[in-house]
Structure 1
Amino acid sequence: MSDPEPDENISGGASGGGRAAAFDPETAGTRAEAVVDRLGDLYWQKTYGGRDAFECLVRTILSQNTSDKASQPAHDSLVARYGSESSDGDLARALADADQEELAEVISSAGLYNQKSARIVALAQRICEVYGGEGGFDEFVRERDPDEVRETLLDMNGVGPKTADCVLLFAGGREGVFPVDTHVHRIARRMGLAPADADHEGVREHLERDVPPEKCGFGHTAMIQFGREYCTARKPACLDDPDACPLAGRCDQVGVYPMSGEVVDPAETVE
């Protein structure tokens, strides 16, 4: 779910549906907020919201169990094939009528394409039946109570907590939503921001409790970037050089053992 960097270093504001946020680790109210604030020194502070809700849902489903490098071409091919097929340009209506086997071929680069194509067609049909298409679904995601929206999304086949939260964040522009992917799950437990044996929902609850609402969206994307650049699953930067990690002074290194060079899942450290 990556975007080009904005022209300005910004956070919150009307376009993202949030308030401007001050990023200062020294005045943070919690350690989790201090971590997010430190990441604010490293990465662009973006606005969130404004994406088409159904396309955001489709994009996130395509990204499940695969990389952005694989899912992005699938998304581009899907939009190119079906984006203008409906007379009113409604992608949901076009996909509701799509042949599932043909769609599977179009998105084949994303992996699990038979499963994903069936889910996308079923979701498109449901959104057309319940909301009348993309426009009605957009309105629902952006204007109804976030808890109701999340519960509704989770009731859709193939939509898990991360997908639901990404739709709330990237389409709805909702504050206080901190989607948890594999990077966030690993880093939050490794740093000690959540219990070592917390599942994805447990990590989400701790982060949304300890990070101010207007900083949650940035925290999600920044932590993913940090996980790719520094705190990787098998060889975090601190393993060879403690000073190589910009968050070294704020991390508990749960499951990371520089003396032996061993790295394990934080849950394995729980007795």
Structure 2
Amino acid sequence: MSEESDGDPADADEPTVNISGGASGGGAAATFDPGTADSRAERVVDRLGELYWQKTYGGQDAFTCLVRTILSQNTSDVASQPAHDALIERYGPDGGEADENGHEGATDGETESTSDLAATLADADREEIAETISAAGLYNQKSRMIQEAAEWVRTEFGTAPAFDAYVRETAPATVRDELLSVHGVGPKTADCVLLFAGGQDGVYPVDTHVHRISRRLGIAPPEAGHEGVREALETTVPGPKCGFGHTAMIQFGREYCTARKPACLDGTEACPLAGECDRVGVDIEAQSVVDPAEAD
């Protein structure tokens, strides 16, 4: 759940637009002490804390978060964010206005049904939903996923607020299993809901950036799939730091450790994590980069 940032990596201020949603993205400030890290993975997260902002997560509405993450699948946030905004403007209560934590509750004079985004989308015309989210790509497929998720929430929980309470109050493993039973919800989507809505410690969503960087650094096995990387990180990074590690690693992947041209190809001094990186699959002398699983 992120937008591209053009900010200078050295900027001391928190980016206003990023994976955490910037200053209004929910959660409270977190502080890390690199000197107390018990693993290299934790040291990496702490170093990222020096590069970027430090924040814990939670506070976003669970169903809205689920919809937002579905929209982000297989597309950039440059495309998916406008689709999300259009969807909320069309179907959200009071023009989609939310409180400071992302909750979209009823305003004075609204009934619960008119303020329930899940109920509204469950009853909406699917072709209309598809047209509304067309900016996100794969809009026919995603409109089906979103409507089926809305119907699931209404059937299983009654209302979106009840689903939100379930995500916050139930054991993460149980919530994760429930979410994975929904068509179109994969491990990353489920974990993002747990992190950004539930504020659950110990949840480390793995997207393509986290998958690539963790294996390239050597803090996850080079042949690990997404679930293998998640397991490696969640067992070596303390729970309260997992959410920040996810968001900051994405930012690091965009600014330094890209798929085809990581900064270290310009010399190790170009990368702020050079001292913690095994550079698996990266040959600086040959100026070549391969998937860590294919490295010698």
Q: Deviations over 1:54-77 (max 9, x none)?
A: 000000000000001000000000
Q: Deviations over 1:109-151 (max 9, x none)?
A: 1111110000111110111111111111001100011111000
Q: State how 1:172-187 maps to structure 2 within 5 Å.
A: 172-187=198-213
- 1:253 aligns with 279
Q: 1:48 aligns with which of 57, 60, 84?
A: 57
Aligned partner of 1:202 in structure 2 is: 228
Give the TM-score, by structure 2 length: 0.85
Give distance in 2, aligned partners of 1:184 and 1:104.
30
Shift of 1:190: 0.2
1:6 paired with 2:23, answer yes
Cα distance in 1, alignment partners of residues 201 and 113 from structure 2: 35
Q: Does the CA contact (< 8 Å) of 1:24 and 1:38 recur in 2?
A: no
Q: What SS does the aligned partner of 2:285 have?
A: coil
Indicate the residue corresponding to 1:239 in structure 2.
265
Q: Deviations over 1:87-106 (max 9, x none)?
A: 53111011001111111111
Aligned position for 2:155? 129
Q: Which amino acid aligns with 2:55?
A: K
Is residue 62 of structure 2 the alignment partner of residue 36 of structure 1? no
Deviation string, structure 1 residues 221-256 (Cα, Å, up to 9, x no partner): 000000000000000000112101000000000011
Count of matched residue pairs: 261
Q: 1:99 aligns with which of 120, 125, 134?
A: 125
Alignment of 1:80-119 (within 5 A): 80-84=89-93, 87-119=113-145
Q: C-alpha distance in 2, partners of 1:189/1:3?
A: 23
Match of 1:67 in 2: 76
Partner of 1:10: none
The 10-residue stretch of structure 1 (72-81 or 41-50) with the greater mean CA deviation from structure 2: 41-50
Cα pair 2:126 2:147 within 8 Å, conserved: yes
* Residue number among 180, 189, 214 corresponding to 1:163 in the alignment: 189
Write the letter of the residue equivalent to 1:45: Q
The TM-score, its normalising length taken from structure 1, stands at 0.93
Q: Sort the Cα spacing of 1:152 and 1:91 in 2 relative to 1 into closer, same or farther, 3 A.
A: same
- C-alpha distance in 1 between matches for 2:73 and 2:82: 14
Find the counterpart in structure 2 of residue 57 from structure 1.
66
CA distance in 2, matches of 1:137, 1:21: 27
Which deviates the most, 144-153 or 76-85? Answer: 76-85
Task: Tell me by how many angstroms 1:21 deviates.
Answer: 5.2
Distance 1:262 1:83, change over 3 A: same
* Aligned AA (1:5): G
- Tell me: CA distance 1:166–1:4, structure 2 relative to 1, closer, same or farther (3 Å): closer
Q: How far is the alpha carbon of 1:22 from its aligned partner?
A: 4.4
Offset at residue 265 of structure 1 (A): 0.7
C-alpha separation between the residues in 2 aligned to 1:27 and 1:192? 20
Aligned residues with identical type, % of pairs: 67
Q: Judging changes above 3 Å, is the alpha-carbon distance between structure 1 residues 87 and 155 closer, same or farther for their aligned structure 2 residues?
A: closer
Match of 1:139 in 2: 165
Displaced runs of 4+ in structure 1, greater than 4 A?
none
Given that 2:149 and 2:183 are in contact with CA atoms closer than 8 Å, whether structure 1 keeps it comes out as yes
Q: Distance in 2 between matches of 1:28 and 1:126?
A: 42
Contact 2:20 2:247 in 1 (8 A): no
Q: Which residue of 1 aligns with 2:104?
A: none
Check conservation: 1:53, 1:138, Cα contact below 8 A. yes
Q: Distance in 2 between matches of 1:133 and 1:27?
A: 44
Partners of 2:22 and 2:115 in 1: CA distance: 28
C-alpha separation between the residues in 2 aligned to 1:211 and 1:119?
A: 32
Given the alignment, which residue of 163, 178, 190 partners 2:216? 190
Contact 2:118 2:160 in 1 (8 A): yes
Distance, in Å, in 1 between the alignment partners of 2:191 and 2:20 is 17
